[in-house]
C-alpha cells in the first residue's frame, strides 16, 4: 500500500503513528499516512523558521519565477491530480478536472504576477515627514485546510503565503491528505528551496493544535468549520489570522428574475461539489408568486441528477466524505421531517453500482415549505440538502436572508436594478452574486462576515494575514 509521509525541510519524514485515508466512494483504503503531533510540528516549524530569511530575501523576480514554474507543473499534471483528488475526497471528476485543479495552477500564476506589481502607500505629511509603507512577510505561517476542495484550498493559501516571502507549515484535513502530498513534491521539483513549504499530516486535536499554538508561528490562515475556527482563535494566542469558515448562504429569487437561469444556478449552487461547499446556496428563498412552480421544477430537475461513481465524467453528485459525515447529513434529514418541513425529494440512500456499495451515499434531497427558524435552515448541513423557503416582499427576503449566524455568500436574482442596489447593501454577507452563481475572479476579496469568518483573502486583501505593514517616516 502507498505510504504518505510528512514533508519537513525538503525531506520525507515518517511518524510512529499512522492513519488510513479512505476512498469515500468505495470504502477502500487508499494510503497509510504518517500521523504527526508536537514533535513533527516542532521540526516543521523549525525548518520553516530556518528557511525564512533566505526566502524572504530572494528577489521578487526569482520568487515569481519559481511560483510560475510550480503553476506550470500543476497545469501539466491536471489529469493525475484530478483523479487523485476525486479518489481521496469524492468530488466528481467533472469538477476536479475542469475547474478545481486548473484553478490551483491559476492561484500560483496570479500571485506570481501580483508580487511584481506590489507597492506600498506614500504620503507627504505637514510635519515634514515622508511616510511610506512596506509590506513585509510575517515569517512562519500555519496553513490549515478542510477536506471539501483540498487541493484548491491548499494552493489558494500556499500561493500568497510564499509569494509574499513567508514560509509555510501546512496541515490538511486527515480525511483528504493525498493531493497536498503531491503538491509538496511539485514544490521541490519547481526548485523552491527545502523548508520553505512543509507539510505535517495528522488530526486537528494533535497536529492542528500543536501548530496553531506554536510560539514561532506568526500567522494562521485557516479554512474549516466555524466551531474549529472559534477554538483556534482561543488557543492560538497573539497571532495574525484569517478565518474562512462555514456558511448557510441565501439564494434569493424574485418573480421578475430570469426563471430558467435562476433555476439552473440554484441547482448548481447546492448540488455541485456534492453540496459540500462553503458557499452553497443552501437556503433557496423564492417569491410566493412563483414558489409552487419553482418547487415542482427544482424537484424534478434535482431528481434527474446522476449520483454515483465520482470518476465517471457524467456523475453530478458523488459520495459524502466519510461515514460520520453521511450520518450527520441523514440526521439533519430526519430533523427536517420532525420539524415539519415538506420532504419533496430523496431522504435516504441512492441505488449505486455494486463496486460503490462501501461508499457514503446520500440521495439528493429537497425540503420545501421550510421555516427559516428550523434547525435545517439555521445549521450548515454541508450536503445535497437544500431548504426551499417562500417569501412575500423584498423586506421579508432581507429579513430571512439575514436571520442566520453565518454571512459567507449570497445570491440575488431579480431584474429590478433598484432592488439589486438596496439588497446588495442590506444583505449581511462577504459576497453577493447578482443574477449569477458563484464565479470566482482571483481579484475578488474572498471571505465572510458574522460566523463565516474574519478577514479576506485574494488580491491585496491577502496582506491582512500574510504581510505586516510597516510605516517608515523620514524627516526632511
Ligand atoms: P474542520 O473545522 O473540522 O477541519 C478543518 C481543518 O482544521 C482540518 O484540517 C482539521 O484537522 C483541522 N482542525 C480541527 N481541529 C483543530 C484544532 N483544534 N486546531 C487546529 N486545527 C484543527 O472542518 P471540515 O469538516 O474539515 O470542513 C468543512 C467546513 O469547512 C465547513 O464548515 C465549510 O463551510 C468550511 N469551509 C469553509 C470555506 C471558506 O472558504 N469559508 C471553504 C471550504 C470549507
ipTM, 2 dp: 0.98
The burial of 69, by beta-carbon neighbours within 10 Å (0-12 exposed, 13-18 middle, 19 or more buried), is given as middle
**Is the pTM higher than 0.90?**
yes
The burial of 191, by beta-carbon neighbours within 10 Å (0-12 exposed, 13-18 middle, 19 or more buried), is given as exposed
> 204, 235, 325, 378: which to mutate for ligand 1, most atoms within 8 A of CB?
204
> From its phi and psi, is residue 172 left (phi > 0), alpha (psi between -120 and 50) or beta?
beta
CA 340, chain centre distance (Å): 32
- Ligand 1 within 6 A of CB of 380: yes
Q: d(Cα 277, Cα 314) in Å, to the nearest integer?
A: 20
CA–centroid distance, 471 to ligand 1, in Å, is 34
pLDDT at 1: 73
Cell of 96: 476536479
Find the farthest-apart pair of alpha carbons in the chain and give their distance in angstroms, rounded.
79
Buried b (16+ CB within 10 A) or exposed e, 85-123: bbbbbbbbbbbbbebbbbbbbbbbbbbbebbeeeebeee
pLDDT at 2: 86
Q: d(Cα 25, Cα 308) in Å, to the nearest integer?
A: 8
CA–centroid distance, 243 to ligand 1, in Å, is 10
The burial of 234, by beta-carbon neighbours within 10 Å (0-12 exposed, 13-18 middle, 19 or more buried), is given as exposed
pLDDT at 356: 98
- Ligand 1 within 6 A of CB of 202: no
In tens digits, what is the pLDDT along the chain, a chain of 476 residues?
789 999 999 999 999 999 999 999 999 999 999 999 999 999 999 999 999 999 999 999 999 999 999 999 999 999 999 999 999 999 999 999 999 999 999 999 999 999 999 888 999 999 999 999 999 999 999 999 999 999 999 999 999 999 999 999 999 999 999 999 999 999 999 999 999 999 999 999 999 999 999 999 999 999 999 999 999 999 999 999 999 999 999 999 999 999 999 999 999 999 999 999 999 999 999 999 999 999 999 999 999 999 999 999 999 999 999 999 999 999 999 999 999 999 999 999 999 999 999 999 999 999 999 999 999 999 999 999 999 999 999 999 999 999 999 999 999 999 999 999 999 999 999 999 999 999 999 999 999 999 999 999 999 999 989 999 999 999 99
Angle at 458 between CA 457 and CA 460, to 5 degrees: 100
Cell of 137: 512577510
pLDDT at 427: 98
pLDDT at 97: 97
Q: d(Cα 411, Cα 41) in Å, to the nearest integer?
A: 40
- The residue whose C-alpha atom lies closest to atom 12 belonging to ligand 1 is 204
Ordered strands of the 411-413 beta sheet: 342-345, 366-368, 387-391, 283-287, 250-253, 411-413, 433-434
Q: d(Cα 248, Cα 332) in Å, to the nearest integer?
A: 14
- Ligand 1 within 6 A of CB of 118: no
Q: Are strands 433-434 and 411-413 parallel, antiparallel or unpaired?
A: parallel
- Ligand 1 within 6 A of CB of 244: yes
Amino acid at each position: 500500500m502507498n505510504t504518505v509521509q510528512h514533508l519537513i525541510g525538503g525531506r520525507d519524514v515518517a511518524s510512529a503513528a499512522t492513519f488510513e485515508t479512505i476512498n469515500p466512494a468505495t470504502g477502500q483504503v487508499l494510503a497509510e499516512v504518517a500521523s504527526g503531533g508536537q514533535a513533527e510540528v516542532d521540526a516543521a516549524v523549525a525548518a520553516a523558521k530556518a528557511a525564512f530569511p533566505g526566502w524572504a530575501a530572494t528577489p521578487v523576480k526569482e520568487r515569481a519565477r519559481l511560483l510560475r514554474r510550480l503553476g506550470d507543473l500543476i497545469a501539466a499534471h491536471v489529469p493525475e491530480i484530478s483523479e487523485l483528488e476525486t479518489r481521496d475526497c469524492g468530488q466528481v471528476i467533472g469538477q476536479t478536472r475542469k475547474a478545481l485543479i486548473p484553478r490551483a495552477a491559476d492561484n500560483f500564476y496570479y500571485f506570481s504576477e501580483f508580487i511584481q506589481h506590489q507597492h506600498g502607500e506614500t504620503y507627504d505629511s505637514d510635519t515634514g515627514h515622508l511616510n511610506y509603507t512596506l509590506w513585509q512577510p510575517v515569517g512562519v505561517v500555519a496553513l490549515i485546510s478542510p477536506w471539501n476542495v483540498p487541493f484548491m484550498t491548499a494552493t489558494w493559501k500556499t500561493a500568497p503565503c510564499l509569494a509574499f516571502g513567508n514560509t509555510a507549515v501546512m496541515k490538511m484535513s486527515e480525511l483528504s491528505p493525498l493531493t497536498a502530498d503531491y503538491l509538496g513534491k511539485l514544490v521541490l521539483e519547481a526548485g523552491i528551496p527545502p523548508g520553505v513549504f512543509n507539510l505535517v499530516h495528522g488530526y486537528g486535536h494533535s497536529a492542528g493544535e500543536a501548530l496553531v499554538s506554536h510560539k514561532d508561528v506568526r500567522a494562521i490562515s485557516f479554512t474549516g468549520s466555524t466551531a474549529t475556527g472559534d477554538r483556534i482563535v482561543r488557543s492560538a494566542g497573539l497571532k495574525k489570522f484569517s478565518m474562512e469558515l462555514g456558511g448557510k448562504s441565501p439564494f434569493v429569487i424574485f418573480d421578475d428574475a430570469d426563471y430558467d437561469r435562476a433555476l439552473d444556478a440554484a441547482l448548481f449552487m447546492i448540488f455541485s461539489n456534492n453540496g459540500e461547499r462553503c458557499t452553497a446556496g443552501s437556503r433557496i428563498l423564492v417569491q410566493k408568486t412563483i414558489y409552487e412552480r419553482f418547487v415542482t421544477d427544482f424537484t424534478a430537475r434535482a431528481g434527474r441528477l446522476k449520483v454515483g461513481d465520482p470518476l465517471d465524467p457524467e456523475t453530478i453528485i458523488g459520495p459524502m466524505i466519510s461515514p460520520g459525515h453521511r450520518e450527520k447529513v441523514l440526521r439533519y434529514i430526519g430533523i427536517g421531517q420532525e420539524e415539519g418541513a415538506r420532504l419533496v425529494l430523496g431522504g435516504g440512500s441512492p441505488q449505486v453500482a455494486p463496486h460503490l456499495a462501501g461508499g457514503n451515499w446520500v440521495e439528493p434531497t429537497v425540503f420545501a415549505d421550510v421555516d427559516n427558524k428550523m434547525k435545517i435552515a439555521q445549521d450548515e448541513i454541508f450536503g445535497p440538502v437544500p431548504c426551499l423557503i417562500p417569501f412575500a416582499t423584498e423586506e421579508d427576503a432581507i429579513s430571512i436572508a439575514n436571520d442566520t449566524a453565518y454571512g459567507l455568500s449570497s445570491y440575488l436574482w431579480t431584474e429590478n436594478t433598484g432592488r439589486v442596489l438596496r439588497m446588495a447593501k442590506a444583505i449581511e454577507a462577504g459576497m453577493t452574486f447578482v443574477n449569477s452563481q458563484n464565479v470566482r475572479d482571483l481579484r475578488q476579496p474572498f471571505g465572510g462576515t458574522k460566523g463565516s469568518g474574519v478577514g479576506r483573502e485574494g488580491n491585496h486583501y491577502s496582506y491582512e494575514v500574510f504581510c505586516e505593514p510597516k510605516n517608515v517616516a523620514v524627516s526632511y
